[in-house]
Amino acid sequence: MSAIPADPPHATKAHADAAPTLGQRLRRITRSYLFRVLLSGLITIWAVTTFTFVLIRQMPGNPVDIKIDQMMQTQNLTYEEALRAAATLFNFDPDRPILLQYTDFWSDLLRGDLGASITRTGVSVSSIILRYLPWTLFCVGLSLLVSFSLGILIGLAMGYWRGSWFDNLMTTIASILSGLPDYIIGLLIIVIFGVQLRWFDIGSVRGGVDPTIEAGFTLEYIGSIISFATMPVLIYVLSTIGTWILSMKSSTLSTLGEDYIAVAKARGLSEQRILMGYIGRNAMLPLITRLAISVGLVVSGTVIIEEMFQYPGLGRNLFIAIAGRDYTTMQGIFLVITIAVVFSNIFADFVIGWLDPRVRVADGETAQ
Amino acid sequence: MTYDRNHVVLSVRDLSVTYQAERGRVRAASHVSFDLHAGETLALIGESGCGKTTLNLALIRQLPKTARTSGDGVIYTYRDGRQADILKFSDREMRRYLWSECSMVFQGALNSLNPIIRVSDMVYDTAKAHGIGRDEAHKRALRLLEQVRLDPARVMRSYPHELSGGMRQRVLLAVSLLLRPQIVIMDEPTTAVDILTQRSILDVLKQLREELNFSVIFISHDLAVAAEIADTVATMYAGEIVEIGPVNEVFYRSRHAYTLSLLNAAPRLSAGAETLESIPGKPPDLIDPPSGCKFHERCAFAREVCSQTPPPLITYDDEHQASCYETERVLAQSEVTRKVAAP
Ligand SMILES: Nc1ncnc2c1ncn2[C@@H]1O[C@H](COP(=O)(O)OP(=O)(O)O)[C@@H](O)[C@H]1O
Ligand code: SF4
Ligand SMILES: [Mg+2]
């Protein structure tokens, strides 16, 4: 059973050999799980990037056209005047062949350069990303953390005490919440609590932080960041928690029917141990993949909520970039989103393997 | 096996269980009474759907919420002679009783192990719930795993999916004895495994029984297995114990027509009989069971009274009990058939 079979003589010799040759080493690397996963991740990133590169250029209008339209409307210019003004504003040539644009993009990217924004003259795409990404990471990351952990706990309790008043009440609430899109929830909150009940001042919750407070690691500044994030976080949580609750409940219900739960009860285990170690952990497994996608999408922010509260996140910048057909900025943000999604999925595989020994992946050599 | 006939560990008195189902009340167990003695192995036989699992889940109060249990009591005698009625236990008392006094190896053992924890953690969890330390639990588990003929160190480290069906079954058997209970209930432990595994489980069980001297309630619809392992056999039909007695009495001098039919339908036991006769029809619907003797619709011996009045349970020699109006004719035929079959 556990006895290690005696190595045949030649195998022993191979083991005893000195350092493996370069060829052997390479083969070991290419066969390893991590290598294969990383390779397929890189291919995915390349494919998605290329696809979005082409796709965003198929949208009607280009940055110059859009700017010309805007100038003609807002500044009462003639088409010629606007065209001249726009051409000097942007360093972008709409007539350059797409294939050359594509090679430009990659040669810049391989040097680590995401290029300059087309519509915001003199601003590099990477500086936009670096400036706004932290806000999004904080706001949406916190929201996801709250939404997922709360949703899991509520769903678990509902499944465990199925048919109780708590279960019935929460099923109704969760079903309604999961059916409402985020902008409706946002509008409802603003109208009901901001306008009708005046629990908060609508004007004072726009932005990411009170601009009159000096930036720094002060209690006041951090407090202001948190207070400005409250509304976006609340709306994000409300708009996503329903789905977590309902999936965790149904997963809990199917786990409850498993034989090993009945056996655990018969062994006299405490309710708490059964609930957490036996039901909770098993019921959570099917949700991890979906969590990974949500984690990856954290960087894309929440376009509508950020726009609604003028929150200085990446989502709002993506929105602005799309509206102005700022190709380079869009490319940069999409690239960051793609990388995040791909890597959080790879990470999720390891988390699932850690939580569920049945799918545990063996790094390096094939599993026995 | 011999056991102490003066020392009753579990006395079941007039126990009934009903399930509240959508179609109505299912009378899954009716007026069941029996005594289980120290060191005794009681085999429960009967077709699927006769209430064997229900009865045993009632004994450890692990029935689903839709079930209602009633009766005069399930009296358990502790090692120190103290007695208690399990039906009157609080939840806490019940949790303490479970596994340390009475454990169960469930039907369908393949899914009885939590897939995401190691066997060792299952052992520690069980021990911890009953106030036994990790080291002590570890020591006991190693010893028991060895007794069920597994490689203790390796199995302790394993996750369930790394073990074969037979190995898992033996792990469960070992874990069922971890807290040294007086009673182990085993629900069809040999049904889902191949014949070799079945053999080894029976051998292991017999040996453990010798060494640790616990009582067993053994559910099986494999009569050959029951014949091999049991001291006492009880036949269940439609939620009732219709015949109970020492194994040789019940198998060679059957007094209930249903037991006789079961034996005639069992390939390995009816060898020598002219034909293998399967029982016509299937066990009745327990929402609306037949009147009189519940077996009368399928019984070759049935006469008029059978469909009108339920036959009383009568005690014959050697504590052999049966509830059948035609017990003498059944007995006569049983003796003829078995004489041919017996070596
Ligand atoms: N949870 C339940 N709800 C309703 N009826 C049930 C339930 N479990 C079992 N039964 C019914 O009770 C009867 C006895 O079942 P069971 O105890 O499983 O028999 P056995 O173990 O002898 O096969 C069957 O008629 C079965 O359909
Ligand atoms: S009582 Fe009648 S119907 Fe029932 S088993 Fe005996 S002979 Fe058959
Ligand atoms: Mg059963």
User: Which pLDDT tens digit goes with each residue over B20-30?
Assistant: 999 899 999 99
Residue-wise pLDDT tens digits, A207-263: 778 777 887 778 888 888 888 888 889 999 999 999 999 999 999 999 999 999 999
Q: Please check the confidence at residue B1 and state whether its pLDDT lies above 80.
A: no
Average pLDDT of A39-54? 92
Rounded average pLDDT over A91-100:
80
Percent of chain B at pLDDT > 70 equals 94
Q: Kindly report whether the global pTM for this prediction surpasses the value 0.90.
A: no
Please state, in angstroms and rounded to a whole number, the distance separating the CA atoms of residues B263 and B248: 13
Report CB contact under 8 Å: A266, B111.
Answer: no
Q: Residue A16's pLDDT is what?
A: 45
Residue A348 contacts residue A354 (beta carbons within 8 Å): no
Task: Over range B96-115, report the average pLDDT.
Answer: 88
pLDDT for A114: 86
Q: Do A266 and B103 touch (CB under 8 A)?
A: yes
CA of B203 to the centre of ligand 1 (A): 30
Backbone φ/ψ region at B108: left (φ over 0), alpha (ψ -120 to 50), beta: left
Could you read off the pLDDT of B175-191 as tens digits, one per residue? 999 999 999 999 988 87
**pLDDT for residue A77 is more than 80:** no
Token pair of A346 as six digits: 């790879």
Strand partners, B24: B21
Under a CB-based contact definition with an 8 Å cutoff, are residues B262 and B279 in contact? yes
CA nearest B77: which of B54, B53, B102, B95?
B102
Answer whether A286's CB lies under 8 Å from A159's CB: no
B87-100 mean pLDDT: 93
Rounded CA gap, B62 and A266, in Å? 7
DSSP B142-186: HHHHHHTTS-HHHHHH--GGGS-HHHHHHHHHHHHTTT--SEEEE
The pair phi, psi for residue A97, each rounded to 5°, is -55, 145
pLDDT of A224 reads 86
Which among A195, A200, A197, A249 has a CA at the least distance from the CA of A227?
Answer: A200
**pLDDT on residue A241:** 95
Mean pLDDT, chain B, rounded, equals 90
Query: Per the CB < 8 Å rule, is A260 touching B113?
Result: yes
Does ligand 2 lie within 6 Å of residue B306's CB atom?
yes
Going from the C-alpha of A284 to that of each of A243, A251, A256, A356, B85, the distances in angstroms are 14, 7, 12, 10, 39
Instruction: Give the pLDDT confidence score for residue B79 in this predicted structure.
Output: 92
- Alpha carbon of B281 to those of A47, A294, A357, B44, B285: distances in Å? 64, 56, 46, 21, 12
Residue B339 is predicted with a pLDDT of 62
Nearest to A1 among B104, B130, B151 (CB): B151
User: What is the set of domains in chain B, with CATH numbers?
Assistant: 4-230 (3.40.50.300), 256-341 (no CATH)
Q: What is the DSSP code (8-state) at residue A37?
A: H
The stretch B206-220 carries a mean pLDDT of 92
> Which DSSP string corresponds to B9-43?
EEEEEEEEEEEEETTEEEEEEEEEEEEEETT-EEE
Model pLDDT, residue A66: 79
Mutation site for A-interface testing, chosen from B116, B172, B183 by largest number of A Cβ within 10 Å: B116
The reported pLDDT for the residue numbered A315 is: 87
Distance of alpha carbon B243 from alpha carbon B233, whole angstroms: 8
Q: What residues have their beta carbon closer than 5 A to ion ligand 3? A: B 53
Per-residue pLDDT for A274 more than 60? Answer: yes
pLDDT digits (tens, 9 = 90+) for B29-78: 999 999 999 999 999 999 999 999 999 999 999 999 899 999 999 999 99
Quote the ipTM score. 0.87
Query: Which of A55-59, A80-84, B212-216 is predicted with the least confidence, judged by mean pLDDT?
Result: A80-84
Are B125 and A267 inside 8 Å of each other by CB? yes
Quick check: CB of B237 below 6 Å from ligand 2?
no
For residues B204-222, b (16+ Cβ closer than 10 Å) or e, as one string?
A: bbeebbeeeebbbbbbbbb
Q: What are the φ and ψ backbone dihedral angles of B69, each rounded to 5 degrees?
A: -110, 140
pLDDT, greater one: B57 or A21? B57
Asked if B41 and B35 touch (Cβ cutoff 8 Å), the reply is no
In this predicted structure, the answer to whether residue B203 has a pLDDT above a threshold of 70 is yes
User: How big is the CA angle at B291 (ends B289 and B295), to the nearest 5 degrees?
Assistant: 75
Higher pLDDT, B45 or A95: B45
Tens of pLDDT, residue by residue over A313-323, are: 888 889 889 88
Which conformational region is residue A158 in: left (phi greater than 0), alpha (psi within -120 to 50 degrees), or beta?
A: alpha
- pLDDT higher at A199 or B162: B162
Give the residue whose CA is nearest to atom 5 of ligand 2: B257
pLDDT at B340: 55
Tell me the average pLDDT across B306-328: 92
Contacts of B212 (CB under 8 A, 6+ apart): B177, B180
* pLDDT the model gives residue A219: 83
* Residue A2 confidence (pLDDT): 41
For residue A14, what pLDDT is reported? 44
Task: Identify the three-state secondary structure at position B329.
Answer: helix
Contact in structure between A252 and A158 (CB atoms under 8 Å): yes
* Structural domains present in chain A: 134-311 (1.10.3720.10)
Q: What is the mean pLDDT of chain A?
A: 84
Tokens of B32: 């069941």
Instruction: Give the single-character DSSP code of B113.
Output: S
